[in-house]
Amino acid sequence: MTAILERFGRFLERAERSPCTIRNYRGDLEGLAAWFSSRTQEPCSPSRLTPTDLRAYKRWLIAQDLKASTINRKLATLKSFLHWAVDVRLLRGGHGLRVPTPIREVRGGPRWLDHREQHRLLRAVEGLGPPRDQAAITLMLHTGVRVSELCALTWKDVHLSERRGLLTVRSGKGSKRRQIPLNRDAREGLRTLGYSEHAGIAAPIFWGQRGPLTPRGVQLLLAWYARAAGLQRVTPHTLRHSFCKNLVNVGVSLEKIALLAGHDSLETTRRYCEPSLQDLEQAVELVSTEE
């Protein structure tokens, strides 16, 4: 099975899947192989799997008390793997292996910061952080770039004029390129960081102590400022969600938000219209009887 997973990993690399996605796929399939061998006392391979095995695998995942999203991801990984196995003739067509249906789960909208929380975070970084940190957090909050996209930005990706700005994301998810207009706050953060001296240079915008700033470095510095602001569970993706939610709240269409965020599907963008717990709390307060 190890050799098969190596081949599958190379296929995912050629398909330009992210390193994180490849690691998750590999881990999911190694877990499946370990479960199968423990259950059958046989080495795992696509041709040895049966419909009974797949149903038992889903029941076993549920018994592990995993989140529904985690179980569904593992089932999706298995489905992709079996399709690939047919393509490379490790498994015959019409094999009869049907991956069990995903678990239905009721989810609220993604986690985001409301305006007061955003203000607290920005005050913390402005009061405690250097221009680099201020620019990085401001840019994530006002452009919705993914943390990997932020770390890959170079000065040649930024074009500023007196009243306009444009950011080109060249390393978007799935190698898709997009352009994001920069509002006043984002432009000011980049100017403070030294845009006039670095404009057009193919050098990273954000540097750490040992080279270009990494996604892990951004996660750590953001967590530090969040704690200083009295906020919990703030990640780079929280800021991306906050950007999209801000646009929804001011009436921007889903089509425009999808283009700005680099979403492949409007269904992804539509999640930002789903009410969060914060939205529900505000809704019930509207009918409070207190004067």
Res 191: pLDDT: 95
Question: 219: pLDDT confidence band, cut at 50, 70 and 90?
Answer: very high
CA distance 171 to 193: 22
Mean pLDDT score, 98-117: 79
Res 107: pLDDT: 58
Helix (H) or strand (E) holding 55: helix 51-63
The per-residue pLDDT of the chain, averaged, comes to 89
| CB half-sphere exposure, 226, CA atoms < 13 A | 17
Task: Give per-residue pLDDT as tens, 224-244.
Answer: 999 999 998 899 999 999 999
Which residues, 6 or more positions from 175, have their beta carbon under 8 angstroms from its beta carbon? 16
Task: Give per-residue pLDDT as tens, 113-170.
Answer: 989 999 999 999 999 999 999 999 999 999 999 999 999 999 999 999 988 999 999 8
Return the domain boundaries, the chain. 2-87, 115-280
Tell me the DSSP string of 108-166. -PPP---HHHHHHHHHHHHHH--HHHHHHHHHHHHH---HHHHHH-BGGGEEE-SS-EE
Question: 65: pLDDT confidence band, cut at 50, 70 and 90?
Answer: confident
Question: 91: pLDDT confidence band, cut at 50, 70 and 90?
Answer: confident
Mean pLDDT score, 54-73: 91
Task: Return the ∠ at Cα 140 (arms to 136 and 146), rounded to 5°.
Answer: 110
Residue 159 pairs in a beta bridge with: 166
Res 218: pLDDT: 95
Question: 106: pLDDT confidence band, cut at 50, 70 and 90?
Answer: low
Number of neighbours of residue 276 by Cβ within 10 angstroms? 17
Q: Say which residue, 174 or 87, is predicted with more confidence.
A: 87
Res 118: pLDDT: 95
Helix (H) or strand (E) holding 68: helix 68-87
Residue 154 pairs in a beta bridge with: 204
CATH number (1.10.490.10, 1.10.10.10, 1.10.620.20, 1.10.443.10) of 115-280 reads 1.10.443.10
Which single residue is written with the structure tokens 């929380």?
A: 117
**Does position 52 have pLDDT exceeding 70, yes or no?**
yes
Task: Return the ∠ at Cα 188 (arms to 243 and 195), rounded to 5°.
Answer: 115
Backbone angles phi, psi at 106, to 5 degrees: -95, 120
**Does position 268 have pLDDT exceeding 90, yes or no?**
no
Q: What is the DSSP letter of 102?
A: P
Helix (H) or strand (E) holding 57: helix 51-63
CA distance 40 to 131: 58
CA distance 161 to 126: 24
Res 207: pLDDT: 93
Res 175: pLDDT: 66
Q: What is the DSSP letter of 69?
A: H
Pairing of strands 207-208, 211-212: antiparallel
Res 10: pLDDT: 93
For domain 2-87, give the CATH superfamily: Tyrosine recombinase, N-terminal domain (1.10.150.130)
Q: Say which residue, 195 or 92, is predicted with more confidence.
A: 195
Q: Of 26-40, 88-102, 197-211, 262-276, give the lowest mean pLDDT range.
A: 262-276
Res 110: pLDDT: 65
Res 120: pLDDT: 96
Which residues, 6 or more positions from 19, have their beta carbon under 8 angstroms from its beta carbon? none
Of 267, 158, 274, 259, give the one whose Cα is nearest residue 206: 158
Q: Say which residue, 22 or 105, is predicted with more confidence.
A: 22
CA distance 181 to 271: 23
Tokens of 247: 């646009």
Res 174: pLDDT: 62
CB 160 within 8 A of CB 190: yes
